[in-house]
Structure 1
Amino acid sequence: MNRNPPRDVTADEIETFRRYGVVCLRQMFDADWIARMQDAVDDAIANPGPMALNLNQGMKGKFHGDSFVWTWQPDFRAFIFDSPAPRIAQQILGASERVTLFFDTLLVKEPGSQAVTPWHHDQPYWPIEGEQVCTVWTPFDAVTRDSGAVEYLVGSHRWGRRFQPQSFTGDSRYGASLEPVPDIEAERDRHEFVLYETEPGD
């Protein structure tokens, strides 16, 4: 299993991340990591942690969520600390010495799930401020437009606004202390979007 990425993140990729708020890096994790983590995901679903949630919102299809999985599942811990993930984050953020893990999240939405992932900014979910923060999202199965590839609103991280976190369960667990997320679907013609179809290892 590779500990370092097979290549460095390029200056163009770093600039894309800063301008778009997202960048797709292809094949940064080798096949051994993918096979190990596919088994680890199955184990984490079969043996959920204390923060596991059913996110299907009463709709058809399984949508499983869990957090801080690395604290009790050894393969997730290995992936966080021994895979290329820390080095990728370090390069993307331009960190000179280290990056600090805040937490991990496992999301598994089976094909055909009708549960909707709401539009959201990641940062209002976190008790941190600043711009030296990123999410390293890694698929362990192929993800296409039809099977639920994530869509991003380009540049929204530069709006200078903090939006109310949206509960993936559909409830109001986060209260209502911030500005509501705009109706993105109603104003799609005003924005630029990007969607990456991905393979395991991206």
Structure 2
Amino acid sequence: MMNMEPILTPEQIAFYQENGFIQVDNVLTLDEVAELAEAMEEAMTVDAEISVKTDKPDGAYFKVLNQKVNVWRDQGSMGKFSFHPRVAQIAKELSGADRIRFFHDHALWKMPQDSKHTPWHQDLVYWPMNEPGALSAWIPVDDVDENNGCMKFVPGSHKLGKLTGIDLVNPQNIFDFTQGTDISEKRAVIVPLKKGSCTFHHGLTFHYAHANKTDKPRRVLAVIYMPDGTTYNGAKHFITDNRFQVNDPIKGGTFPLLTK
């Protein structure tokens, strides 16, 4: 953990606060991307001891996302990227927090040909947090576009607050809950990325990922950050189960402080 000089401009921070997402280019070097890709390949192919794989290859959720959570706990080489100081500093600046903590990482593969889109949803509804300030960094190790599973976001949707959890296998239409507002899928912004660049999005921002129609996996590391002092809301979650009482701060060795 170290003090770093600011990375973003005031205009970038204002864009994120207004829209709930931002693209930041050249966050990692190409050498770092290659190292991360190698580390994630190992993390996704070896048997897990502590990290959690969320579905089996023949499962319905696997077609949406082949996902493993907290890969840093099994593969030490992943810690360099899950706790990357530059990425954490950007998250801190976007959140406006004095200090930022790690919640968890997850390696996200969209498998070739057989994948499905990830439906529109908010993230915070799945996280056991009282406060709304958490955000995600989404870091591809491949170039991503509409053919292999890039993201799209609805600007300003984070201002609606927490809505409802969406079943990612048999999804409801999240826009059924936005009637009477100006939030609609017509406003969605598609964000293709070159490897080394990434997006950050607020935990309440509506987002979606296209299916992977190519013959190679679409590989992404996502890292979730929370402002220091974020508290547990009591909801069942395998990351926090049996660790905290309601309204306790979420902290400790598996939720390290990443910035000063």
Q: 2:23 is matched with which residue?
A: 24
Q: 1:200 is matched with which residue?
A: 195
**Greater relative contact order, per chain length (Cα 8 Å cut-off, separation 6+):** 2
Q: 1:99 is matched with which residue?
A: 100
Taking the TM superposition and a 5 Å limit, the aligned residue runs for 1:52-63 are 52=53, 53-54=55-56, 57-58=59-60, 63=65
Q: 1:141 is matched with which residue?
A: 142
- Higher deviation after alignment, 46-55 or 108-117: 46-55
Q: 2:153 is matched with which residue?
A: 152
The structural deviation recorded for 1:150 is 0.7
Q: 2:253 is matched with which residue?
A: none
Q: 1:162 is matched with which residue?
A: 163
CA 1:4–1:150 in structure 2 vs 1: closer, same or farther (change >3 Å)?
A: farther
| Consecutive unaligned residues in structure 1, runs of 5 or more | 173-178
Q: 1:175 is matched with which residue?
A: none
CA contact (8 A) 1:55 1:65 kept: no
The structural deviation recorded for 1:160 is 2.4
Taking the TM superposition and a 5 Å limit, the aligned residue runs for 1:1-202 are 8-49=7-48, 50-52=51-53, 53-54=55-56, 57-58=59-60, 63-96=65-98, 98-167=99-168, 170=169, 181-183=174-176, 191-202=186-197
Q: When the two structures are superposed, what TM-score results if normalisation uses the length of structure 2?
A: 0.63
Q: AA paired with 1:75?
A: S
The structural deviation recorded for 1:95 is 2.5
Q: 2:250 is matched with which residue?
A: none
Q: When the two structures are superposed, what TM-score results if normalisation uses the length of structure 1?
A: 0.79
User: Which has the larger helix fraction?
Assistant: 1
Calculate the aligned-residue CA RMSD, in Å: 3.2
| Consecutive unaligned residues in structure 2, runs of 5 or more | 198-260
- Deviation per CA, 1:110-139, whole angstroms, max 9, x where unpaired? 342332212110101100132322101111
Q: Secondary structure at the match of 2:89?
A: helix
User: Which has the larger strand fraction?
Assistant: 2
Aligned length: 189
CA contact (8 A) 1:5 1:88 kept: no
- Percent of aligned pairs with the same residue? 23
Q: Secondary structure at the match of 2:7?
A: coil
